[in-house]
Structure 1
Amino acid sequence: MNKYSHMDVRVTSWEQVHHFYEALLGALGYTRTFHTELWKVFASEGELPSVAYFALTVNPEHEPNENTIGFWAEEREEVDRIAELVKLNGGTVTSGPGLFPISPTYYAVFFEDPCGNKYEMVHRLN
């Protein structure tokens, strides 16, 4: 059993980030939404609560930190597609896409949402 359940992420403004997250999370397979006034929830296919989901809530005083959330890519081309999607939807690519000296096949892009939260999309063979 994969022990991953969900992620709760704070953003400073839903208006500032909603296009970014709708594009990014949709591309990553979080295609079902369960939004309320307080939480914007993007879930993968299947029945809750047994599927992974990504939840966002607004805290105007949120300060991004050095934490990074990473996603797996099935191929390098997916890393490249996500890098372009990030740029087209208000995010910032901070490094890559390219190979990184973590392993000989570690191909990744590092990026931030419009509020400064940090992410990585990585493909590696070993």
Structure 2
Amino acid sequence: MNPFSHIDLRVNNLEKNLPFYEGFLTALGFIQTFHSDKWKVFAANGNLPSVAYFAITEDPLHKPNGNLVGFWVENRDEVDRLATLIKEIGGKITSGPQQFPISPTYYAVYFEDPCGNQYEIVHRLN
């Protein structure tokens, strides 16, 4: 069982950040949208509420902090592909993609969205 349900994320400027998330989340497989005036919701394939989703809203006072959201992908090529996409859509690579000494198979890229929220995409076998 995967207990993950969703992420509610704040950005300080939705108009500036939304194009990044439209490209990034779609590439990760969040292909359904359920948008309202205040929330932009990207969901995985399937039926809510049983599929994971990522919801974004604007808070002009939001300031990024030390929190980090990590995503797992199936292979190193996918880490590299997404790292290239992140740069193309306005994200900032902060480290990688590369092998990290966390485990013998830990290959990752760390990055920030245009607002400064921190993320990681990782492939590892153990």
TM range (shorter): over 0.9
Unaligned 5+ residue runs, structure 2?
none
Residue of structure 1 in register with 2:111 after alignment: 111
1:5 offset after TM fit, Å? 0.3
Runs of 4+ in 1 over 6 A off after TM superposition: none
State the one-letter code of the partner of 1:49: P
- 1:55-106: CA deviation from partner (whole Å, max 9, x where unpaired): 0000011000011000001000000011111100011000000000101110
- 1:32-58: CA deviation from partner (whole Å, max 9, x where unpaired): 000001100000011101110000000
Distance (whole Å) between structure 2 residues aligned to residue 50 and residue 102 of structure 1: 32
Unaligned 5+ residue runs, structure 1?
none
What pairs up with 1:1-126 in 2 under 5 angstroms? Answer: 1-126=1-126
Distance (whole Å) between structure 1 residues aligned to residue 84 and residue 77 of structure 2: 11
State the one-letter code of the partner of 2:102: I
1:15 offset after TM fit, Å? 1.1
State the one-letter code of the partner of 2:50: S
1:112 offset after TM fit, Å? 0.2
CA RMSD across the alignment: 0.5
**Pairs aligned (count):** 126
State the one-letter code of the partner of 1:61: L
